Amino acid sequence: MSKRERPPVESVESLRLKVAALEARVRELEPQDVMVREMADRSPNMIFINQRGRLVYVNQRCVELMGYSRDELLAPDFDYMTLVAPESRARVQAAGARHQVADHAERYELVALAKDGRRIDTLLTSWVGQYRGERATFGIQTDITERRRLEARANHAQRLESLGILAGGIAHDFNNLLVGVLGNASLALMDMPADAPARVAVQQIAFAARRAATLTNQMLAYSGRGTLARETMSLPEVVGEMLQLLQASIPKTTCIAHEVQGDVRSIRGDVTQMQQVVMNLVTNAAEAMADKGGVINVTIGGCEGAALPLFDFVVGETPVPGRYATLTVADSGLGMDPALLDRIFEPFFTTKFTGRGLGLAAVLGIVRGHRGVITVRTAPGRGSVFRVLIPASEERPPAPTRVTDVDAALTPDATTGLVRIADDEEIVRVVASRTLERAGFETLVVNDGLEAVNVVRARGDEIDVVILDYTMPNLSGADACRQIQKLKPDLPVILSSGYSAAEATERFAPLGLAAFLQKPYLPQEFVTMVRDVISERRSRA
């Protein structure tokens, strides 16, 4: 034995006291450790500790989200970079290098890679600290996949809204120009003898102007500002009439099968716009089947709003409970992948070699304007099914009416008077005054709202009706209308605009408009409206 002096032997009682003190300290620390661990495991975020290049702690959320067991993640040979998508690894390595030279926190986004291959958008906050006496990297990682999806949808909606405003503005200005083209062509036809050499050319000008008006209505429909006549219609009748025309325009290898199922109710809306919906959906289906042909199945029916979950992709407002009339167009064409499906309703997006890309964008605008919904089911190689739902109406549709011929003469009758016209577009003022004067009216023409008010102030007793443009310099149509109503409450006001009747009349509703005149208009429509307004005013006198 060593001759060195031995340490004094502690008594049993002393050792018992030390053990009791250690046990008390353990009992003191255990509840805190358990609480911290439980808080971490209940966190919705992934929490981990990385030490010397391997994970030494992961919470329950890491296990759930990444798909690995805790033992797999904490295994000594597990490479934590396996959890990072290839495109994000350089960013993680760069943050790790910065941690070696500085203790400040790093905050950045990365794509995590789960065991089953799922890619998860995450936001990582990491910092350096001490763990069990050694330097370690601590991390809190948040799953932001849903946030990114919502942001993408919001950005998509914002982009569509911006393009809608642009489309609406272009359509408004273009409609003003079409008033001049269509009006002058119509007036010229009325002055030409039937055998005039130029008559055919002028008829073609008038026809082209009406086609252009249809295009601008598509743009207004996309922007949500399309004109809605709001009449009760039979959806089977509207669809049936359009399909007869469309069958002749689609490839011979493709045919249309038409079926009406169940209880189909009437709807309220614009017949022309609903025809546009049918035409665009059937045309798109035919183009999707152009290579091999086949059958386009068009089905009209009815459903409750709760039937929506049957479809994969929903565009439009969330429908309120109630009965809907449905139009379903199904094809067996190429189908679409999710990336293409996300873009098909964007304006100016098209997969055609040539095309303007307004078809489905216009359909979406029209359906939104009718408070409806579009659903789409599709997959590559399995075709597509478009379903349009429009709120049903209990009203019965009226009997069809005959449209007045564009070439009919404007013959003066007993209804005449003085009409005051205010519009900032010279071509509109000229056409409007020429048309009314040809029908036997006198006109006073001004180019802004302030002049319109001054004319009413000076000659209000002589004027029979005032026609105001919606947008004018110096004084807007709305302000001019208010001032005119104060000066002469019984003087009828007709509002004219390239925007929709729904938008304009809603804004002017408190002022009691006599009528709304949508641009571009035919001379016959214009004169008939003015005569009706003046006749109604005189009948009340």
pLDDT band at 411 (very low <50, low <70, confident <90, very high): low
Domain of 491, in residue numbers: 418-540
Domain presence at residue 107:
yes
Does position 43 have pLDDT exceeding 80, yes or no? yes
Does position 32 have pLDDT exceeding 60, yes or no? no
Q: Are residues 349 and 261 in the same domain?
A: yes
Strands (DSSP E) found in 308-459: 313-316, 323-331, 373-378, 384-393, 418-422, 442-446
Q: Are residues 105 and 27 in the same domain?
A: yes
Per-residue model confidence (pLDDT) at position 397? 72
Domain presence at residue 166:
no
Domain presence at residue 340:
yes
Q: Are residues 42 and 104 in the same domain?
A: yes
Burial class (CB in 10 A: 0-12, 13-18, 19+), 20: exposed
| Assigned token pair, 17 | 């006291």
Alpha-carbon torsion angle 348, 351, 356, 361, nearest 10: -50
Asked which of 110, 143, 176 is the last residue of a domain, the reply is: 143
Does position 435 have pLDDT exceeding 70, yes or no? yes
Q: How far apart are CA 88 and CA 121, in angstroms?
A: 10
Q: Are residues 303 and 444 in the same domain?
A: no
Q: Are residues 376 and 472 in the same domain?
A: no
Three-class DSSP category at 202: helix
Domain presence at residue 33:
yes
Distances in whole angstroms, Cα of residue 80 to Cα of each of 37, 85, 97:
21, 11, 15
| Assigned token pair, 363 | 């359909």
Q: Are residues 242 and 358 in the same domain?
A: yes
Strands (DSSP E) found in 192-338: 231-233, 254-260, 266-269, 294-304, 313-316, 323-331
pLDDT band at 1 (very low <50, low <70, confident <90, very high): very low
Instruction: Give the angle 272-274-280 at the CA atoms, nearest 5°.
Output: 100
| Assigned token pair, 329 | 């167009």
pLDDT band at 403 (very low <50, low <70, confident <90, very high): very low
Please tell me which of 14-18, 52-56, 129-133, 251-255 the model is most confident about, judged by mean pLDDT: 52-56
State which H helix or E strand residue 47 sits in: strand 46-51
Nearest to 174 by CA among 125, 137, 223, 141: 223
Q: Are 492 and 468 in contact (CB under 8 A)?
A: no
Domain presence at residue 276:
yes
Domain presence at residue 474:
yes
Report the greatest alpha carbon distance in the chain.
142
For the chain, the residue count is 541
CATH classification of the domain holding 126: 3.30.450.20
Q: Are residues 359 and 422 in the same domain?
A: no
Does position 314 have pLDDT exceeding 80, yes or no? no
Q: Are residues 382 and 250 in the same domain?
A: yes
- Count CA atoms closer than 13 A to 207's CA, side-chain side: 6
Q: Are residues 392 and 422 in the same domain?
A: no
Q: Residue 109 pairs with which residues in a beta bridge?
A: 123
Q: Are residues 278 and 390 in the same domain?
A: yes
CATH classification of the domain holding 350: 3.30.565.10
Asked which of 143, 160, 181 is the last residue of a domain, the reply is: 143
- Count CA atoms closer than 13 A to 508's CA, side-chain side: 31
Q: Are residues 428 and 382 in the same domain?
A: no
pLDDT band at 337 (very low <50, low <70, confident <90, very high): confident
Per-residue model confidence (pLDDT) at position 540? 82
Domain presence at residue 89:
yes
Q: Which residue has the higher pLDDT, 73 or 217?
A: 73
Domain presence at residue 252:
yes
Q: Residue 57 pairs with which residues in a beta bridge?
A: 49
Q: Are 367 and 235 in contact (CB under 8 A)?
A: no
Does position 114 have pLDDT exceeding 60, yes or no? yes
Q: Supply the Cα-derived Rg of the chain in whole angstroms.
A: 36
pTM score over 0.85: no
Per-residue model confidence (pLDDT) at position 354? 43
Asked which of 116, 143, 170 is the last residue of a domain, the reply is: 143
Tally of domains in the chain: 3
Q: Are residues 376 and 461 in the same domain?
A: no
